[in-house]
Amino acid sequence: MSWLLAAPIALPFLTAVLAFLFRAGPAGRRISVAGNAALLAAAVALMAETLREGVIAGQVGEWAAPFGITLVADLLSAVMVVITAITALAVSVYALADIGERAERLGYHALFNVLIAGVCGAFLTGDLFNLYVWFEVMLISSFGLLILGGSKAQIDGGVKYVALNMISTILFLSGVGLLYGMTGTLNIADLARTVPELEDQGLVTLIAMMFMIAFGVKAAVFPLFFWLPASYHTPAFSVSAVFAGLLTKVGVYALIRMFTLVFDGDVGFTHQILLWVAALTMLTGVLGAAAQNDIRRILSFHIVSQIGYMIMGLALLTPLALAGAVFYLVHHIIVKANLFLIAGVAERVAGSTELSRIGGLYKSAPLLAVLFLIPAFSLAGFPPLSGFWAKYVLVAAAIEIEGWVIAAVALVVGLLTIYSMTKIWAEAFWKPHPEGLEPALTRLPPGDRARLLAPVAALAGLTLVIGFFPEPFVAFAERAAGQLLDPTAYMTAVLGAAS
Amino acid sequence: MEALLALAIGVLVAAAVYLMLARNLLRFIFGLVLISNAANLTIFTAGRLVEGAPPLVPVGLDAPVGTVANALPQALVLTAIVIGFGLFAFALTLMFRAYTTLGTLNGDEMRVAEPREHGEGSAMR
């Protein structure tokens, strides 16, 4: 089998083991950064190969599909792995200045890299039960990261996060069992072949709903998102950045994968529900954010709201809409992780993320203000930043099939997003600091300043690149969407030409 | 046999849902254990039940003879049990920790990470 496919899973595991062995000193941090740089190189190599070949698949232990576990990368998987690697590298550099020695000795870097391995595994697997295992790998390491430090707020948020995610996992597992009982296979490509031939399509739709709820909890869609704003503002900033960027997006990826490849028999029913879910997710998220007064809680609710856009792309199920969803995923991960990292810098220099307790950042830290404006305006969809193109493609796709309501919701939610972003801007950056403090970046030790700001600047730069040169990214997203809508290449790559 | 197991799964799920609706988190955790075992039984039953025929290959042959039990669901259930056990151990420890640091196991009273009611701002740290 191709090592290119296994490397994005094996490298983070190796990094995790080494980082755990050397967790006592500075070596652990360096191993984490080096490991994630290697992961980025492997991800780019995988991307290059996928661009050349279309879809690449490998069978673990040479057990032929559909009997063994298949690893498979199409363009969507490949781009998700690349974005995961970029986020992981940025956060591991940021963590050099953000994570204290106590958390390091407790195994922060090991948990972080296991989480990345789980995320990459979920993106690359072509087997449903294996997907469950990767979800569990992600889940258990995220539990650890979430409560590392053990403050009251962390335990409180952790309880809610653990409880709801475990219910989703059990529902997913039951769905896997029932689907296996009906088809006798767990290979996703093989399922795509056998599920449409089943007699009892009503039962298939029922199982599809179990998957929708299970992945819906993971993706934090309406009305299953409550665990997210209850917990994402409690852990260290590095942790919440990587959670915000990646974890919910694994749920979205799983929804896209299953509801384009396997559960596309009764689109009038399932995708109609998804469309409602999308609209309500966008609205509740953005309205929830409007009521918050803590930067991280505002941003957490905006994750929920933004997830709605991606689900909208999946629900419309046209080539343009799916391309929009893929583009949105890529843009959103970069922007969201970056905003949480910036919230961390703001807390370090101004003393809090509570809007009523901080201020004056524009005057004394103009560089941070600029770095905040780029992802914030991108999130709200200002041209010419990446969020504008993402929303533009999705709204265009909705208007194309005369989905006026969903298009209107998408536009209104964009408008309300500006409200939240200007609230953070006005409170944290514009108004004077309530305690008369001058929160300049020079309050940070020089070494920490570089480690905190370099990843933020790099991610902001990436947002600008996508914003100013959207054409290759949109073209790529359209190609990825084409693969999702016509799974022939995917199935041939996994099962061989005989299928 | 399927009907019996299906009934058992139904009873387990019903008991689990009843327990999970309680405000006491310890009951919630016990409900979670029950429902995860119901999920395991679902996989086992969905993989078809065969009585008294272990999937063993006789000496000198390449495949088992006649109808034998499906080994795959058993492997899946075994994996799920191991993972579920780990998660349960973690969840129990977390609940114990929640009880010692927050002083309550009532889900309604756990509001440390929520914003305060009267616009005081959140009690983040």
Residue A61 has a pLDDT of 81
Interface contact A177-B43, CB threshold 8 A: yes
Tell me the pLDDT band of A287, cut-offs 50, 70 and 90: very high
Asked if pLDDT for residue A132 goes beyond 60, the answer is yes
Nearest-angstrom CA–CA distance, A17 and A143: 18
Please report whether residue B112 resides in a domain.
Answer: no
The CA-based angle A35-A37-A39, given to 5 degrees, is 70
Interface contact B95-A159, CB threshold 8 A: yes
Please report whether residue B22 resides in a domain.
Answer: yes
Residue B121 has a pLDDT of 44
Q: Which residues of A touch B25 (CB under 8 A)?
A: 159, 163
Tell me the pLDDT band of A274, cut-offs 50, 70 and 90: very high
Asked if A293 has any chain B CB less than 8 Å from its own CB, the reply is yes
Residue B41 has a pLDDT of 94
Interface residues on B facing A, Cβ-Cβ cutoff 8 A: 20, 25, 28, 32, 35-36, 38-40, 42-48, 72-73, 76, 79-80, 83, 86-87, 90-91, 94-95, 97-98, 101-102, 107, 110-115, 119, 121-125
Strand partners, A72: A57
pTM for the structure as a whole: 0.94
pLDDT above 90 covers a percentage of chain A that reads 74
Interface contact A129-B79, CB threshold 8 A: yes
Q: Are A142 and A158 in contact (CB under 8 A)?
A: no
Residue A447 has a pLDDT of 87
Nearest-angstrom CA–CA distance, A303 and A322: 19
Domain membership of residue B17 as a residue range:
2-51+68-102
Please report whether residue B96 resides in a domain.
Answer: yes
Average pLDDT of the residues in A150-157: 88
Q: CB neighbours (10 Å) of residue A473? A: 21
Residue A1 has a pLDDT of 55
Interface contact A156-B95, CB threshold 8 A: no
Interface contact B32-A293, CB threshold 8 A: no
Q: Which residues of B touch A290 (CB under 8 A)?
A: none
Nearest-angstrom CA–CA distance, A189 and A70: 9
Helices and strands (H, E) in chain A, number of each type: 22, 2
Determine whether A458 is exposed, middle or buried from the number of CB atoms within 10 Å of its CB (0-12, 13-18, 19+). Answer: middle
Mean pLDDT of chain A: 92
Instruction: Identify the residue with better confidence: A146 or B125.
Output: A146
- The minimum CA-CA distance between B20 and chain A, rounded to whole Å, is 10
Residue B125 has a pLDDT of 39
Please report whether residue B109 resides in a domain.
Answer: no
Residue B111 has a pLDDT of 80
| Helix intervals (H) in A125-219 | 128-147, 152-183, 188-194, 201-219
- The minimum CA-CA distance between B101 and chain A, rounded to whole Å, is 6
Average pLDDT of the residues in A386-412: 93
Strand partners, B115: B122
Q: How many domains does chain B have?
A: 1
Nearest-angstrom CA–CA distance, A73 and A124: 6
> Which domain CATH number covers B22?
1.10.287
Residue B114 has a pLDDT of 79
Q: Are A418 and A459 in contact (CB under 8 A)?
A: no
Q: Which range is least confidently modeled, A261-265, A324-328, B36-40, B121-125?
A: B121-125
Average pLDDT of the residues in A380-386: 88
Q: Are A152 and B101 in contact (CB under 8 A)?
A: yes
3-state helix, strand, coil in chain B (%, to 5): 60, 5, 35
All residues at 6 or more sequence positions from B100 whose CB lies less than 8 Å from its CB, including other chains: none
Q: List all residues of chain A from 166 to 205 with a beta carbon under 8 Å from chain B.
A: 166-167, 169-170, 173-174, 176-178, 180-182
pLDDT in tens, chain B (125 residues): 889 999 999 999 999 999 999 989 999 999 999 999 999 999 999 988 888 888 888 888 888 888 888 888 999 999 999 999 999 999 999 999 999 988 888 878 888 877 765 544 444 43
Residue A239 has a pLDDT of 95
Instruction: Identify the residue with better confidence: A444 or A455.
Output: A455
Asked if pLDDT for residue A498 goes beyond 70, the answer is no
Please report whether residue B79 resides in a domain.
Answer: yes
Please report whether residue B115 resides in a domain.
Answer: no
Residue B123 has a pLDDT of 42
Residue B116 has a pLDDT of 67
Average pLDDT of the residues in A203-222: 94
Instruction: Identify the residue with better confidence: A209 or A359.
Output: A209
